[in-house]
Amino acid sequence: RAKDEGRNNYQFYTPSVNQEGIERLKMETMLRHAIERDEFVIYYQPRINTKTRELVCVEALVRWVHPELGMIHPKDFISLAEDTGLIVEIGELVLRKACMQRKKWTDLGLPLFRISVNLSPRQFRQLDLPEVITKVFKETKMDPSLLELEITESAAMQDVNLSILMLRVLKDMGMTIAIDDFGTGYSSLSYLKKFPIDVIKIDQSFIRGIQNRDSDDAAIVRAIIVLAHTLKLDVTAEGVETWDQAYFLEEQNCDEIQGFLFGKPMTPKTLQDWFKLEHTDAAVGGY
């Protein structure tokens, strides 16, 4: 890196810094076009009740399908969208698509599982967020009780008092509130108690390590589950990939499980097929 090698070398690196700026600008322009041309599609990942095996919720996960580049995953554009503010528009269109999808599933006779939508830190700080959501609900005839909002622990902790107010308004509108990526955001327990929330989603980084029952990860997961239940919250584990992990989580009374073990994020059509399969073949998912 230029910094490590002394000031005299700094000049040498300038062109590549500019190059990076140009790339960013190109990406930003592409993102704006993507919004205009409606290049975003939503994949849905099932979340299952650990005990009953019922589908409780599906998480809406955005993908950008670029005409030439193909499918682009959130890790490659969400942070740019956040920095440029474009996330506000993208977030609204994700919400609208998800609500419309819920309506289609209702019309097809699928059960009333919730849909969860991720809110970015920037979106969560928009004071007109409740208005925007109300507008989308009206347009799509969405039942608020079928929508769950996921806010990351670190976003919720940024301005705790404002977060509490915003969460209160959103919850009073009838939605379910989840804290996403829990365990990575240093939340203070006294604040956690004050947040009007319903669900804690344990970050997948802790789930990987639970194979070893004596590991720190296993201890942390046990502690989070007890903590959540003490606060009368439901707990979901994210990133569950193996039966061994699922058994452990069931033993520890983790309420819900989400991960590749039960289903990857999928298109609405694939989710419908998955749902039919789960409900006709007792061997799938039943143990």
The answer to the question of residue 180 lying near ligand C2E (CB under 6 A) is yes
- How many helices, marked H, and strands, marked E, lie in the chain? 12, 9
Interaction of residue 213 with ligand C2E, rule CB under 6 A: no
Minimum CB separation of residue 25 from Mg ion in Å reads 26
CA distance 38 to 41: 8
Alpha helix (H) ranges present in 231-282? 243-251, 268-280
- Using CB under 5 A as the criterion, which residues of the chain lie in contact with Mg ion when the complex forms? 118, 150, 180-181, 238
What's the closest the beta carbon of residue 75 comes to ligand C2E, in angstroms? 6
CB of 3 to ligand C2E, least distance (A): 30
8-27: which residues touch ligand C2E (CB under 6 A)? none
Strands 234-237 and 256-258: parallel
Estimate the crossing angle of helix 129-140 against helix 87-107, to 10 degrees.
Answer: 30
Q: Which of 169, 247, 260, 267 contacts ligand C2E by CB under 6 A?
A: 260
Contact between 181 and ligand C2E per CB under 6 A: yes
Q: Which of Mg ion, ligand C2E, none does 57 bind, CB closer than 5 to 8 A by kind?
A: none
Residue 265's binding partner out of ligand C2E, Mg ion, none, with CB under 5 to 8 Å set by partner kind: ligand C2E
| Residue 239 binds which entry of Mg ion, ligand C2E, none, CB below 5-8 Å type-dependent | ligand C2E
Q: Are 73 and 286 in contact (CB under 8 A)?
A: no
Number of alpha carbons in the 13 Å side-chain half-sphere of residue 22: 6
Q: Compute the distance between CA of residue 48 and CA of residue 263 in angstroms, rounded to an integer.
A: 10
By C-beta, is 150 or 233 nearer to ligand C2E?
150
